[in-house]
Amino acid sequence: MTPHTFRKSFRDVEAAETVVAHHRWLVELRSGVVFPKLLAHTGSTLEFERLPGPTAGTADITTVARALGQLHRAAWRGGLRHADMNRPFPIDGATKLAGFTEPRRQRLHAALTKAECPLTHDDIDTWLEISAELPVTLYKDANPRNAIISPDRGPVLVDVDTLTLAPVGYDLAKLIVTMAMTFGAVTREQVVEALTSYITAFGIEADRCPLGHIQVWAEFHHLLTHPWCGQHYAHEWNAIRTWSAAEVVSAARTHVPVRSREPHARDQ
């Protein structure tokens, strides 16, 4: 490892090869979003180029949201339009993106017994099921530490260890929640601006990813991220939530997606 490279070791060779496949697939989408170059692969260790710049802060939320929209648009056009939300999707040789529901259902229900959340067990199950009605994109863990704001290359997305299928807006909600848990409350104005940038970059109609969906997905991320509060995150989402708990409940019961239709024709 040098000042210009970053080396990361994985639990075994297979895990490293999965990350190599993820990286290759993301780069070959040609989304316009920058990923660090993979320079070397030796056994269970990968070496990437190190790009200068700070990790994303609250002021960068719209910029990172736009990059997510670009990436999700490219992924949808590059094959995810044919994916089933809850079935593994092949991307590179034997490598597959896991479906959305099953990796999360048990963890969400377990987390709900330990963390305060406006959603009920029934709400969780309902939204896991109706996620299949939404356009399929991907989850890449969009916490702010995974976006480097390069002075000359724009937002650079790092850490492609875990990729799964996910509904439109799900990874944006991860960005919003973890940005708040890292730096403190994110305003509604910032969320709306980020959401607008995301759906514009993706090229979908606003009713395919309304604020109500983001409010529900944010609670999923709150539950799944709660165990790391006090370690990677300084703030509890419950203490700094951008909207009221009552608004989350209303969103969960009234913003149920309509039958899926493809994103806007200009993106086909």
Q: List b or e across 60-77, with b for residues whose CB sees 16 or more CB atoms inside 10 angstroms.
A: bbbebbbbbbbbbbbbbb
Whether residue 110 is predicted with pLDDT greater than 60 in this model: the reply is yes
pTM: 0.93
pLDDT digits (tens, 9 = 90+) for 245-256: 999 999 999 876
pLDDT digits (tens, 9 = 90+) for 192-232: 999 999 999 999 999 999 999 999 999 999 999 999 998 88
pLDDT at 54: 96
Q: In the chain, pLDDT over 90 holds for what percent of residues? A: 87
pLDDT at 259: 45
pLDDT digits (tens, 9 = 90+) for 225-266: 999 998 889 999 999 999 999 999 999 998 766 544 455 434
Whether residue 120 is predicted with pLDDT greater than 60 in this model: the reply is yes
Count of domains forming the chain: 1
pLDDT digits (tens, 9 = 90+) for 35-81: 999 999 999 999 999 999 999 999 999 999 999 999 999 999 999 99
Q: Indicate whether 8 belongs to any domain.
A: no
pLDDT at 199: 97
Q: Indicate whether 213 belongs to any domain.
A: yes
pLDDT at 45: 94
pLDDT at 4: 79
Q: Indicate whether 126 belongs to any domain.
A: yes
Average pLDDT of every residue of the chain: 93
Q: Indicate whether 45 belongs to any domain.
A: no
Please give the Cα distance from 243 to 241 (Å, whole number): 5
pLDDT at 265: 34
Range of the domain at 249: 52-267
Q: Indicate whether 222 belongs to any domain.
A: yes
Whether residue 108 is predicted with pLDDT greater than 80 in this model: the reply is yes
In 3D, which of 259, 168, 178, 180 has the Cα closest to residue 214?
Answer: 168
124 contact partners, CB below 8 Å, separation of at least 6: 105, 108, 109, 112, 220
Other CB atoms within 10 Å distance of the CB of residue 4: 10
Q: What SS3 class is residue 41?
A: strand
pLDDT at 246: 98
pLDDT at 103: 87
Please give the Cα distance from 125 to 79 (Å, whole number): 27
CATH of the domain at 236: 3.90.1200
Q: Indicate whether 110 belongs to any domain.
A: yes
pLDDT at 260: 47
Taking residues 173-195, what's their average pLDDT? 98
What is the dihedral angle through the alpha carbons of 176, 179, 184, 189, rounded to the nearest 10 degrees?
-40
Q: Indicate whether 80 belongs to any domain.
A: yes
Q: Indicate whether 37 belongs to any domain.
A: no
